[in-house]
Structure 1
Amino acid sequence: MSTFERYLTVWVFLCIVLGIALGNFFSPLFHMIGAMEIANVNFPVAILIWLMIIPMLVKIDFAALGQVKEHWRGIGVTLFVNWAVKPFSMAMLGWLFIGYLFRPLLPEAQIDSYIAGLIILAAAPCTAMVFVWSNLSDGEPHFTLSQVALNDMIMVVAFAPIVALLLGLSAITVPWQTLALSVALYIVVPVIIAQIVRRSIIVSGGLPALQRLLSTLQPVSLVALLTTLVLLFGFQGDQILAQPTTIVLLAVPILIQVYFNSGLAYLLNRACGEAHCVAAPSALIGASNFFELAVAAAISLFGLQSGAALATVVGVLIEVPVMLSVVKIVNSTKAWYERGRAVRGGKPLVGQHR
């Protein structure tokens, strides 16, 4: 691990402070960059996400995707946490903290809207950023890509019914344009670019050339991650300073939900005997959120200035720092994880990292 990577937490903190400061001092510039979007998908952020995830996607050999069936336990755990636990646990946390414990500290007229935003956020599993978290935890790339693709397919049919059920609505309006554009920008296009790069490098220089390229791209990926953080906090700098108490209070159930669901997925994978290189991305996928879809759905249902929209934005703001903390946890507990009886007793999985 390089010195830059070792102090990543420090750089993240500095980027948060820098983003808030720049967002306030150069508010018109950040509003202009923030307006460069279609269907709530911001194109400058999308380009930065490409720079983050393409290095991991270059590692993927499509001929080896069939090996993912060996990881069926990890897939089962992730699907269970994403769809049977996460939206419902967030609903309970929202009602407990926002609807009861923090109620006297928040605007009464927005309480239900805040809870709705939290539920919408939890009902949309992450798509793009998961590749970054998986890469930082040495996750199995074929498992990660397959799991993200499977979640995207399930989201098409499950997102609306789950949100409608938990919000007590007969139906909700799904921002299909945002969903389709995000999947295309964050999955389809980067995968195509990565595979073109991979094949051309292997043809010209073989696997050693590919490894050299990946080593070169790793710092680029981290710089793009930090730049994204500056933009995200810059976009909301005025909101953060205008209502800091509300943002902190909304962050509490989101933080608990992230650690609860990632911990649950991690422990279930250990109990099932899944390899750490699968359990790590499984835990991270189980906890993170597809914030573009969540923000778009909240705005379409409740309006741009609603509490629901603000709650989903808080999810955006804490996504990077909190998921980096989960990455640190799964990395630092790898030795403990692999001492598990089920893990030691199982045979090595195809594609398992060493």
Structure 2
Amino acid sequence: MTADPTGTTNPTETTTENRGVVGKLSTLDRFLPLWIAAAMVAGLLAGRWIPGLNTTLEAISVGGISVPIALGLLVMMYPVLAKVRYDRLDTVTRDHRLLWPSLVLNWVLGPAVMFALAWALLPDLPEYRTGLIIVGLARCIAMVIIWNDLACGDREAAAVLVALNSVFQVIAFGALGWFYLELLPGWLGLPTADLDVSAWQIAVNVLIFLGIPLLAGYLTRRFGERAKGRAWYESRFLPRIGPLALYGLLFTIVLLFALQGEQITGNPLDVVRIALPLLIYFAVMWAGSYALGKAVGLNYERTTTLAFTAAGNNFELAIAVAIATFGATSGQALAGVVGPLIEVPVLVALVYVSLALRRRFAASTEPHPSDRQ
């Protein structure tokens, strides 16, 4: 992409670039919504029709998280984190227009929006309401990496923001749970709910879903470039491991929906009630974050990263906390399980919305740290 002397990007070139991005997608990427829909259906059917499958998946767990699901997430996240240019992270940490809005969106507005929606739309269903509030407290550190990459967001920015979310998750999750489930409802004269979650449980979740793939990605790039050079690493090695991210994503989706397939298919009306506030939440958080990023002058890549990191949630943690506190068959656990049922297709759709909006960024107000196309 080039710019004229005034610094404005040529709209024709931007449109051509967007078409080029789509044209470069593999068959797996191009038909991603179809593969994800098939994975969700396969998981739901497997969970309902294969005897003992969900029991087996739950039995093999660490910190309340199924080990097969954890492995799928590690495979999913590793290739993307291996692509990150770690020598450019300082360009992100210096960008206060990105960091402060992200922290406010994730840790102030996100939980508050979910709290308001849960009480407004599920006033008569306290278990589901509590489950949704827990989902709102669990900020995304896993699948957002995939959505951001598919939407051509800033990889380095995503790595920094999910790392910040991880730190805040360990520090703030328990306190926010107490605030939104006990203190604030008490102030408002509403029924309260107890949440028993340890910082260790959250730390284990962060270590599994971010720490391990982040360390693996960093070491792979460092030693790969040292041994073979950056040109070989980016032109030969990364294309070979790239497809693993989507294979891991599809595998994880199958397992997630198999784990609670019977619960979801056995309560269709409840799922619809839970889905409505989730749909509104994802739309409000993504669109609001996107508009904010553009308003403060972020370029397309970082605006996209801001939007996806604010809209996504760590449903693995939410499910684990709900199961550990209220039980595997509780309404709170069901609300957590419905989270990915709604989040996955909605955020996939938003990937395509984001790519369509790319042409509206006629100019970047700052140089992007990497030319990835």
TM-score by length of 2: 0.85
- 1:224-273 Cα offsets, whole Å, 9 max, x none, are 11111111111111112211110121011011101110111111000011
Out of 321, 326, 329, which is 2:345 matched to? 321
- How much does 1:115 deviate? 0.9
Out of 42, 51, 60, which is 1:27 matched to? 51
Alignment of 1:92-241 (within 5 A): 92-99=116-123, 103=124, 111-169=125-183, 172-211=195-234, 212-241=236-265
Q: Which has the higher helix share?
A: 1
- 1:148-173 Cα offsets, whole Å, 9 max, x none, are 11122222332223222222249742
Which amino acid is the alignment partner of residue 312 of structure 1?
G
8 Å Cα contact 2:88/2:369 also seen in 1: no
Which amino acid is the alignment partner of residue 213 of structure 1?
F
CA distance in 2, matches of 1:352, 1:213: 18
- 1:52-94 Cα offsets, whole Å, 9 max, x none, are 1111111223332211134321222221211221111111111
> How many pairs are equivalent?
339
Out of 64, 83, 95, which is 1:59 matched to? 83
Structure 2 residue runs of 5 or longer lacking an equivalent are: 1-24, 187-193
Q: 1:217 to 1:225 in 2, by over 3 A?
A: same
Secondary structure (helix, strand or coil) at the match of 1:168 reads helix
Alignment of 1:30-49 (within 5 A): 30-49=54-73
Match of 2:189 in 1: none
CA distance in 1, matches of 2:314, 2:107: 13
- How much does 1:144 deviate? 1.0
Which amino acid is the alignment partner of residue 242 of structure 1?
G
8 Å Cα contact 1:140/1:353 also seen in 2: no
CA distance in 2, matches of 1:180, 1:27: 33
Matched, 1:280 2:304: yes
TM-score by length of 1: 0.89
Q: Identity of aligned pairs, percent?
A: 32
Match of 1:303 in 2: 327
Match of 2:365 in 1: 346
CA distance in 1, matches of 2:258, 2:330: 20
- How much does 1:351 deviate? 4.3
Secondary structure (helix, strand or coil) at the match of 1:316 reads helix
Q: 1:273 to 1:291 in 2, by over 3 A?
A: same
- How much does 1:190 deviate? 1.3
Secondary structure (helix, strand or coil) at the match of 1:27 reads coil
Secondary structure (helix, strand or coil) at the match of 1:138 reads coil
CA distance in 2, matches of 1:200, 1:347: 31
Secondary structure (helix, strand or coil) at the match of 1:333 reads helix
- How much does 1:23 deviate? 1.5
CA distance in 1, matches of 2:80, 2:297: 25
Match of 1:5 in 2: 29
8 Å Cα contact 1:175/1:293 also seen in 2: no
Matched, 1:248 2:248: no
